Amino acid sequence: MSAWGSGIKRAFDLILAIIGIALTFWIMIIAVIIASMETRSFGLFIQRRVGRYGRIFKVYKVKTMKNIAGVHGTTTTSNDPRITRSGKFFRDTKIDELPQLFNVLFGTMSFVGPRPDVEGYADRLDGEDRIVLSVRPGITGPASLKYKNEESLLSQQADPKAYNDKVIWPDKVAINREYIKSWSLKKDITCIIKTILG
């Protein structure tokens, strides 16, 4: 992506983030309150993710899972017992992603781009795949759209983590690599519209 393209993308992100926050801030507040009551903890989920140039940043989401003794892992399936009743609704409607508008505003994320990985995945990128770290991670993107039913797909696997690591993650890297190489603002707008329409 050229410096000009990167500048246009950032300006687009800023304008959309300000509008988005103004329109949905009240929804975020209500969602966080509901999540706080159901999880019996602060309803805003904050997690370390790997961002642009491999820098670590904190991603914000509405909390959709509660702690259950003995249940761990970052690979989540649709039948994960940790997902709360409100959490399922927030995930289905993407309300849990709304706080990431602040990530976009602060410049750690973009509206469209590769989803930010947890530590341990981005570290495995090498060669041409490192291009994925040259852009800000996104709230949505071509890979996110292809795997919008990822949790349901993983729930059908005997070993969800192995399937994610060997099949889904490498495919996402390939899709994200192509997205960056052929980036255009028109494609970003199309991706956002497809995400909103579901």
Q: What is the pLDDT of residues 80-116, one digit of tens each?
A: 788 899 999 999 899 999 999 999 999 999 999 999 9
Of all helices (H) and strands (E), which one includes residue 191?
A: helix 185-197
For the chain, the average pLDDT equals 91
pLDDT at 76 over 80: no
Q: Residue holding tokens 């729930």?
A: 155
Q: How many helices (H) and strands (E) does the chain have?
A: 8, 4
Two tokens at 3?
């410096």
Give Cα separations from 143 to 23, 52, 132, 157, 173 (angstroms).
Answer: 27, 17, 12, 20, 8
- 167-191 average pLDDT score: 94
CB of 91 within 8 A of CB of 31?
no
**pTM of the entire structure?**
0.87
φ, ψ of residue 83 in degrees (nearest 5): -70, 125
Whole-number pLDDT of residue 135:
94
Q: What band does 73 get if pLDDT is binned at 50, 70 and 90?
A: low
Instruction: Please report which residue ranges of 47-168 form alpha helices under DSSP H.
Output: 85-93, 100-106, 142-146, 150-155, 160-163
Two tokens at 132?
């994925």
Q: Residue holding tokens 């992506």?
A: 1
